[in-house]
Amino acid sequence: MTAHTCYIGLGSNLSQPAEQLHQAVNSMAQIELTTVRKCSSLYSSKPMGPQDQPDYVNAVVEIETNLTPHALLAAMQKIELDQGRVRKGQRWGPRTLDLDILLFGNQVIESQDLTIPHVGMKSREFVLFPLHEIAPDLVLPCGNSLIFVLNSVSRNGLVKFEQDVKSEC
């Protein structure tokens, strides 16, 4: 089996968001064949989408896994559900926990339920800045360096507010 280095984006703006993220990282550490390697700080970000919702807390973690992309997706969705995620009608509405697989090694995947690299990650400051904190030399599957992509987005009020999403990191 081959181990892949993957990056997961975490976001929450309901029910004590920072706690949601801490809990999620603890749960990720329990996933079979998977190790949590690095965690970014927690960041406060302005909502992308409807503005009549609370600010978000975001972070990115690096994991190493021997799972397949779809098995990893299932594991992430289980954590979301365990933490009370309810999929409501409103597009881009508030949420207790979002776990997005941003990158899976250098793979490009376009299946019905999984798109990697994550759609939109290149334009989201709340993904790019935390990702850069833990992987400053990263090169994306498209061949662009993370720093190149990062330089094209504004911080849009993004603020780092807590050192580590998980104290053990």
> What are the residue numbers of the active site?
85, 95, 98, 100
Q: Please list the residues that pair with 59 across neighbouring strands.
A: 10
Q: Which residue is nearest to ligand ROI (CB)?
A: 11
> Minimum distance from CB of 48 to ligand ROI (Å)?
4
Q: Does 45 bind ligand ROI (CB under 6 A)?
A: yes
Of 27-35, 45-53, 76-84, 108-116, the window that binds ligand ROI (rule: CB under 6 A) is 45-53
Q: Which of 3, 18, 23, 98 touches ligand ROI by CB under 6 A?
A: 98
Taking Cα atoms as reference points, which of 5, 114, 6, 7 lies closest to residue 70? 114
Query: From the CB of 78, what's the least distance to ligand ROI, in Å?
Result: 18
Q: Apex CA 91: angle with CA 86 and CA 93, to 5°?
A: 60
Q: How far is CA 16 from the centre of its chain?
A: 17
The distance of closest approach from Cβ of residue 17 to ligand ROI in the complex, given in angstroms and rounded to an integer, is 9
Tell me which residues in 109-128 interact with ligand ROI (CB under 6 A): 126
Of 44-52, 65-73, 77-85, 144-152, which segment contacts ligand ROI by CB under 6 A?
44-52
48 in contact with ligand ROI (CB under 6 A): yes
CB of 158 to ligand ROI, least distance (A): 8
Enumerate binding residues for ligand ROI (CB under 6 A).
11, 45-49, 56, 58, 92, 98, 126
